[in-house]
A and B are shown apart, each in its own frame.
Chain A
Amino acid sequence: MKRWLLVPALLLSQLPVQAGGWSGEVQYGRYYPEAERWSDYYGSDRAPYLALNFSYRLLPFVELGVDAGRMHDHGRAVLPSSGSQTGSVDTNIYPLMAQAQVSARFAPGQWLVPYAAVGAGRIYYRQVIAGQDAAEGNTAGRLTRAGLALNMNILDSKAAAHMRSGYDISHTFLLLERQRISGKINGAELGGDATVLGLRFEF
């Protein structure tokens, strides 16, 4: 039995990344709201999306953290009596999720690191129609993320050394990621898909 336990322990000790250590991500991209008629009211089926992510490496493969995002779009409201579009609406959606992430990092010189994450939390929103009360609230939400991380240290070892000595950043990754955010309130869909580019800094 002890021998069986020894094997995974030995494997873990050979991994290029050890448990412990923080990382932060900043991501920017496009949010594609799931609400079907979004483009009818906002002029486009996409909106800018900014997200920040902080996580702690609990195990070499596994990180736990928090992901916070903001989607903002500006569009037109509807006059219910006539159905005509008028006025202006600003809709902001703020997903705030606790998440667990798994990364497939096997070798020190690995260029590409696939990763995936799942999370759960609240989706906050604030919707402002000019000239009347704002609607704000929150609802339960879920998050799934998957992407590829490009190890920048390998591309530019000089810069990597500088980042390490100057800022204590051991690894820098360029991320290309797809996210799926789910959440509904009173039947209104707040979720959507996001495609983001980002940078990940490991301390």
Chain B
Amino acid sequence: MRAGWRAGVTGLGLACCLSAQGALIDITTTTGNIQKKIDEAGANDEIYFHAGTYNVNLTLKSNLTVSGEEAARTILQGSSANAPVFTLNGAKVVTVQRLTLVGAAPGIAIQNASSDIKIRNGIFALNANVNAVTVSADSTAAIENNTFFANGTALQLAADGSTAKYNIFSENSTAISAVSDNGIDYNCFAGNTTDGRQGGHATTGGKSLRFVDTTHRDFHLRTDSLCIDSAGSGTDIIDGSSLLDAGAYGGQYADPLPYPVGDLKATVTEDSNGTYQIALSWNGNASYLVDNAANPGKYTLFYDSKAGPPYEGGDALDAQGSLIASGVKTVDHPLTEFTLFGLTGAASVPAAPEGLTAAPSDRKLTVNWSSVPGATGYILYYGVDNVTENEVDTRDTSVSLTGLVNGVSYHLAVQAQIDKKYYLAVKVGDNTGRDHESDFTQTQATVGDPQLSSLSEPIAAVPEKLQAYPDLPNEGCFIATAAFGYYEAREIRPLRQFRDRYLLASSPGRAFVAWYYRHGPRAAQWLQQHPDYKPTVRILLAPLIGFAWLMVNYPLSALVFMLLSVLLPIAWRRWRAGEVT
């Protein structure tokens, strides 16, 4: 896209202006210190933000251009909401273009004798109490072809000398605060609480300027927008019109890319002949450059059985039964759906994975296995009592299971699967015939049921038990701990509380605890080695735990219960004896 941009600009006879162009400094969302990149930039370098969201408060120096890849999708948000995204302190010859600024106060502060500043083709949607662009009395700037939406004061010019042209001001508290109308021309106003200085050739209208979708910050203009061709004569880079659109998508420096389609959905259904179809639908692009009955834009559909781009097609048919071998199909707006036919699901059953191993560490098992030819994914099963207690879907042959309990034995097995997945994408192109296409909107769909292998040979592994210093012995409830899996199990707490409150309070109780501590570990070890008996032990322990819980929480009712369980059988016997005699 970037190369296309520069070629387009040069093609318009502006090569003269780019001769002094410096280096291009790419910024992505993973770039570390962006301020440092700016500080280290040379004269006439261009800081180029790729599409994405950035949390920044930056200070710009002289002789610099700051650009966004796409105005709507290159979003700069203040990392501090109370500071400007861009501060220009005494900076000269700076251009800021094709960016969306949000969440800062103000968006751009131009001050301390800054001059020859160009702010263009940007979108300012900060918030209702915040100024979008402020220019101090000792500074000057050219503010052109921007869209200001729902700000406090959109543009604050403290003195004459700056220009404000071809902008759209919509739903701001105040559109332009300036000392005079000088330099203010061809702006489009609607729905502001106060327009302020309108200057010459102003276009005014109702509240809505007919933006495509303000929620998603798509400020392209709809067909009946009053800001289309409203900004006097010039050249619109997008459609080549000699009448300029106002706002971020007008003029010769505008971002020409349509906004990608939204809400792409893929619905799979099975046909009567055993094949499948994928019905794709999406939200149409409502920009006037696409949504035009006489000259509509178009949507290009892509598909592939492997992730793209590139998308290279495959075995899908269209409604007429023709093979879409290339993987590309074009439909004209306003059609926003298309169906792929004749798709088949996975055919072969994969072999069971082999070579399952597990490397133990602290609360973690790193599980590996050999890849299975043709497998598109794997399901790793693991559990303490049963291998199918938990499962993890993965496309890799290695999984790290974390959050496990050290010293507990886990059973593991893996299953290979083959599914038939289709990767789908849609682009929208405008009606200008200039190859302006949006970015991909992508989705995927699985056709048919996945084919699953049998389970691999199961293995058991124990996350390594850590040792503390000093290595203190545990005198806890060994058997119950082994039966319930871990020491902190909710069910074991009453037993511990019962031990502390009742057993340790008397010498027979202490003798029992001592006896238990001598023999309990052996029984617990046996139980760990024979996990099949754990459910039985848990059932056997249940009345004991219930009694301990009663004794800890409701000792009186526990005693009554005990008394009744002795007296009732005696009474029953006596009654029966009396009945017989």
Contact = CB atoms under 8 A, between A and B. Distances in A.
Interface of A: 35, 37-38, 40-42, 75, 77-81, 86-87, 89, 91, 125, 127, 129-138, 185-186, 188-190
Contacts of B362: 77, 79, 86-87, 131
B472 A188 contact: yes
A38 B464 contact: no
Given A80-B464, A131-B405, A132-B405, A137 B470 contact: no
27 contacts: A37-B469, A40-B469, A78-B469, A79-B361, A79-B464, A80-B466, A89-B466, A91-B472, A127-B468, A129-B468, A131-B405, A131-B406, A131-B463, A132-B406, A132-B465, A132-B486, A133-B476, A134-B476, A135-B473, A135-B475, A136-B476, A137-B474, A137-B475, A138-B475, A185-B472, A188-B470, A190-B470
A188 B476 CA distance: 18
B486 A185 contact: no
Contacts of B405: 131-132
Contacts of B487: 132-134
Contacts of A136: 474-476
B407 interface: yes
Given A79-B464, A132-B405, A189 B470 contact: yes
Contacts of B363: 87, 130-132
Contacts of B406: 129, 131-132
A136 B361 CA distance: 23
Contacts of A38: 469
Contact of A87 (B466, B476, B486): B466
B404 A131 contact: yes
A77 B467 CA distance: 6
A104 to B, nearest CB: 37
A147 to B, nearest CB: 27
Contact of B486 (A133, A188, A189): A133
Interface of B: 361-363, 403-407, 463-476, 481, 486-488
Given A79-B361, A79-B464, A133 B470 contact: no
Nearest to A35: B470
A75 B469 contact: yes
Contacts, number: 99
Nearest to A137: B475
A133 B472 contact: no
Contacts of A188: 470-473
A186 B472 CA distance: 8
A135 B363 CA distance: 17
B371 to A, nearest CB: 28
B382 to A, nearest CB: 16
Nearest to A42: B469
Which 7 pairs across A and B sit closest by C-beta, in order of nearness?
A: A133-B487, A132-B406, A137-B475, A188-B470, A77-B466, A131-B363, A135-B474
Contact of B488 (A81, A134, A185, A189): A134
Given A78-B467, A130-B363, A131-B463, 15 more contacts: A41-B468, A81-B464, A86-B362, A87-B466, A89-B469, A91-B472, A132-B405, A132-B486, A134-B474, A134-B487, A135-B473, A135-B474, A137-B474, A185-B472, A190-B472
Max chain B CB contacts within 10 Å: which of A38, A40, A75, A132? A132
Contact of B473 (A40, A78, A89, A185): A185
A97 B466 CA distance: 31
A35 B472 contact: no
A37 B468 CA distance: 12
